[in-house]
Each structure stands twice: as structure tokens, then as C-alpha cells.
Amino acid sequence: MATVKELKATARPKSGKGAARAERRAGRVPGVIYGNNQPPLPISVDDRELRQRILAGRFLTTLVDIDLEGKKHRVIPRDFHLDPVKDFPIHVDFMRLGQGATIRISVPLHIVKAETSPGVKRGGTVNIVAHAIELECSVENIPQFIEADVGQLEIGYSLHLSDVKLPTGVKALTREDATLVTIVPPSGYAEEQKAAAAAAAGAAAPGAAPAAAAPAAGAAAPAAGAAPAAAAKAPAGGDKKK
């Protein structure tokens, strides 16, 4: 069951840029509730509380019951805008949800068991290719995150969407062969692998000439200018002086 948070809101009688600026000066953030075949409903929420919700994380995947003057609206945040300079929220959109409604949502990917990965133990690094997965599910069954177990990955291996177990009733909208995580080799790993492969191939090559044997221990090395072997004939005629 998805977690549901509560948030108080106030109806905005006026819309437009001037009214929105007035709300911000009063410490409130203008927003709107839309969807479920009902007309848009302009609202405003407390700036400090909204900022805390956004900074806490998972804001766009959390169900919210908005208390609007005593009436509750089950919604999910769909978007928010931040000031490009001061980085505080200036507008927020909520989508109204009917009972049993199905929603498409982007859910974050959580990496687990990285410390037990044989590739990581050998110096590899976990490279997250996809930080979130697009899912379709009922509003009552929204997962807060999807776990990616990399505990068995070696260097150069990857984890795909088809390797991940999704909760019951949750359908992935991303293709099954999509790569989620890879184990990247450390610096110099490719050169080491090539050198090891070349050495192994040289040792196993058929007909390889054996290395020259070193002289036996205690054997005398041939002296420089050694006399010819006994079988060699002396020069004919000699070299006597007359």
C-alpha cells in the first residue's frame, strides 16, 4: 500500500501572474489540482512546508490528501517549478486521483548488495545507467522504489530490466532489455587482461621452441681463444724461418 501524506491548502479566488505574486509575497506557493474529469481547482500551500516535502525526496511518487477547507482531495504531485536564481518553489501541480485509478509514474532505482559484488571487490565501479524506471500501476500500489541487486555481477557485466523483480500488479513501460547497471573495470584493467591473454596463448602454442638451457652448475665456460678441437688438422708446411 502506498504511503499517503496530508497537506493543507487554501483556495485561490483569483488566477494570473499578479495574484500568484501576491501569494508568494504572503509566504505561500500557488498551485492547481486537475484531472479526473473535473475542472481545475486553483489552490495555494505553505511555502515552508512544501519546500520540506520536496527536499525530503520522493515528492513526485507520494500520494497526498489535500485538505482544502475541510474537504480532502486524493492527489499525486505531477510537477513543480523552482525559482532559477533562489531555488525555492514558485508553483506546484497536483493530479486528482479517482478510486482504483491507474497511473504512469517514474520510480527511482535503488542499488543493493554492491559491497558483495565480485566485480566491485576486484576494483570495479558500479555505473548506474538508469536512475529511474517508468511504471504503470494502480494508485494504491505505487512502489516507492525498485531494488536492483548487483551482488553477483562481475567486471564488465550488466543488470537489465528483465533481471529485476517488480511488485505484483506493477507493469514496466521500459523495454525489458534496457540496461540498468553495469560494473565498470578499473583503470588499466583492459591492458592487464590483454597481457595475461597473450602470455597464456604463448605458453599454450603448439611447437613452441623451448628456451635455451642454462649451463650446468660447475661447468667451465669455454676460454677465449681456445685451441681448435683435436680433430682439426694443423696447417701444412709449417712456418719455420730459413
Q: DSSP class of residue 195?
A: H
Q: CA torsion, points 57, 60, 62, 65, in degrees to nearest 10?
A: 120
Asked if residue 89 lies in contact with residue 31, where contact means CB atoms within 8 angstroms, the answer is no
Are residues 108 and 55 located together in one domain of the fold? no
The CA distance from 9 to 92, in Å, is: 12
pTM summary value: 0.67
Q: Are 139 and 2 in contact (CB under 8 A)?
A: yes
Q: Assign residue 158 the CATH number of its domain.
A: 2.170.120.20
- Parent domain of 143: 104-189
Distance between CA 164 and CA 109 in Å, rounded?
10
Give the cell for residue 49. 512546508
Label residue 35 left, alpha or beta by phi (over 0 means left) and psi (-120 to 50 means alpha). Answer: left
Residues 60 and 138 in one domain: no
Q: Do 91 and 16 share a structural domain?
A: yes
Q: Tell me how many domains the chain contains.
A: 2
User: Domain check: are 145 and 126 in the same one?
Assistant: yes
CA gap 149, 144 in Å, rounded: 16
Q: Judge if 85 and 139 occupy the same domain.
A: no
Tell me the CATH number at 25: 2.40.240.10
> How confident is the model at residue 44, as a pLDDT?
96
Q: What is the pLDDT along the chain (242 residues), one digit of tens a residue?
A: 567 899 999 999 877 888 889 999 999 999 999 998 899 999 999 999 999 999 998 899 899 999 998 899 999 999 999 999 988 999 999 999 987 789 999 999 999 999 999 999 999 999 999 999 999 999 888 888 999 999 999 999 999 999 999 999 999 998 999 999 999 998 766 666 676 677 777 776 665 555 444 444 444 444 444 444 443 444 444 444 43
Question: What does the pLDDT read at residue 189?
Answer: 67
Q: Please give the C-alpha separations between residue 151 and each of 108, 115, 126, 159, 169, in angstroms, as whole numbers.
A: 19, 7, 11, 10, 26
